[in-house]
Structure 1
Amino acid sequence: MREKDGSREGSLEVTGQLGDVMKESAKIAYTFARAFFMKEQPDNDFLVASHVHMHVPEGATPKDGPSAGCTIVTALLSLATDTPARQKRGHDRGVSLTGKILPVGGIKEKTIAAKRAGVTCMILPSENKKDFSDLPDFITEGLEVHFVEQYHQIYNIVFPRQ
């Protein structure tokens, strides 16, 4: 949902059965996305002037943790530019206010789940490179994998310049 009203400053509202850590992660993602986007496209005021309502469905299922930060940033930038992000890719990790990509746990489980879902490109934190390299070949074969340290690297992968 987007409301544009010149007298209001942009904001983010998050609904769903979210834990405190995920709510905080969403706020950090929004703050970073605004700052990043103002540098990337200074003439586009979408995130500065719009109220964005993000609903995380299945309200009865509690969700918590910081790992959705990069996904939220990417969704906000996709919305702001009206440009779809690259398909069949997965990136599930936290992001700091400065754009640093934070390591995550469960690399094996996330890689298996991604392959089952048809993901062909995975973007992982550089700090998780060893976790990924320890996986057997039958789990990793056929995957295009990128290890990143900063969000701008993700941006260049999921929104390739035409």
Structure 2
Amino acid sequence: MVDAGSLNKSDIEERLCQGRTDETGTITQAVELNLGDEPSSSSDDKPDSSKDTTAVDESKEETRVVEKVVVDDSNLSDYVGKPIFHLERIYDQTPVGVVMGLAWTSMGGSTLYIETTQIEKGEGKGALNLTGQLGDVMKESAQIALTVARAVLLEKEPENIFFANSKLHLHVPAGATPKDGPSAGCTMITSLLSLAMNRPVIKDLAMTGEVTLTRKILPIGGVKEKTIAAKRNGVKTIIFPAANRRDFDELSSNVKDGLDVHFVDDYRQIYNLAFGEHKVEEN
């Protein structure tokens, strides 16, 4: 299955079957074609005169073999054009402070990274800078994420005062693309905690979900598009809000196959999944 706005299957097949043509429109590359110079035999042979005529006509035809072409990743664009979508994946394994989220756009779904780093440390230096053309709703999500992350860190590592003594910078690439919405909340929390604990999240993970101050995970839109984007970028594990389970269940099997999907309603479940602590009881 392909995202909205891309070529459908029949379009691609038609372009592949057309082969390459020269400026006059003559096929110059296609499958092997051998017309042969010997008449085929048949049980319904015609009189000798007909056979002679056929033999003369066929002798005028030449055996023509055009180049056989194999279409693969290296030359596919020659036949169907440039890719509609490009892989957004930047990391094979996300480093500390970086977590992959999922977004919906007018062209379908996409992945996006939440990157957090420490830019200054010292007693009472706690602060958060935001970049990446974030809209008002997303900026509020970042503030909520910091509050929740501080509370979670206090529970998990009571002696860790990283947030109180660190000036942080949270960025969402690509910088030229405006972004807004609350669904990156859980991804922001996880990015902040990853940095604070100096622990990367598990490999091939993506997540999406709005988070409240009490750590509840609220439903999001674009489940189909986000799932396709995740699969396109090699994601193996996806975390969705529990309220979106039905949306996912309604997707076709070719979209769902090969994905380990978890449905959560509390951030504690995301924490355990993202940092590989233990099996999570899902709703």
**TM-score class, shorter:** over 0.9
Q: State the 1:75 CA deviation.
A: 0.5
Amino acid at match of 1:4: K
Choose which of 203, 222, 229 in structure 2 pairs with 1:113.
229
- Equivalent pair of 2:208/2:241 in contact (CA under 8 Å): no
Q: Deviations over 1:89-130 (max 9, x none)?
A: 110111111110110000000000000000011111000000
**Structure-1 separation of matches of 2:190 and 2:235:** 16
Q: What is the TM-score with the length of structure 2 in the denominator? A: 0.55
**Structure-1 separation of matches of 2:228 and 2:132:** 26
The yes-or-no answer on 1:53 pairing with 2:169 is yes
**Structure-1 separation of matches of 2:269 and 2:230:** 20
The yes-or-no answer on 1:40 pairing with 2:40 is no
The 5 Å alignment of 1:143-154 reads 143-154=259-270
The residue number in structure 1 matching 2:199 is 83
Which structure exhibits the higher relative contact order, with contacts defined as CA atoms closer than 8 Å and separated by 6 or more residues? 1
The residue number in structure 2 matching 1:63 is 179
Choose which of 238, 246, 253 in structure 2 pairs with 1:130.
246
The yes-or-no answer on 1:99 pairing with 2:215 is yes
**Structure-1 separation of matches of 2:249 and 2:277:** 29
Q: State the 1:9 CA deviation.
A: 4.5
- Secondary structure of the residue aligned to 1:53 is strand
The residue number in structure 2 matching 1:4 is 121
Choose which of 120, 142, 145 in structure 1 pairs with 2:258.
142
The residue number in structure 2 matching 1:14 is 130
**Structure-2 separation of matches of 1:82 and 1:124:** 25
Query: Gaps (5+ residues) in structure 2?
Result: 1-116, 279-283
**Structure-2 separation of matches of 1:139 and 1:62:** 28
**Structure-1 separation of matches of 2:236 and 2:243:** 21
- Secondary structure of the residue aligned to 1:145 is strand
- Secondary structure of the residue aligned to 1:132 is helix
Query: Gaps (5+ residues) in structure 1?
Result: none
Q: CA RMSD in A?
A: 1.3
**Structure-2 separation of matches of 1:13 and 1:115:** 31
**Structure-2 separation of matches of 1:154 and 1:76:** 13
**Runs of 4+, deviation exceeding 3 Å:** none
**Structure-2 separation of matches of 1:149 and 1:9:** 33
The residue number in structure 2 matching 1:156 is 272
**Structure-1 separation of matches of 2:173 and 2:225:** 22
Greater CA radius of gyration, 1 or 2?
A: 2
Q: What is the TM-score with the length of structure 1 in the denominator? A: 0.95
Q: Deviations over 1:2-43 (max 9, x none)?
A: 21111x251211122111011011111111111111111101
- Secondary structure of the residue aligned to 2:168 is strand
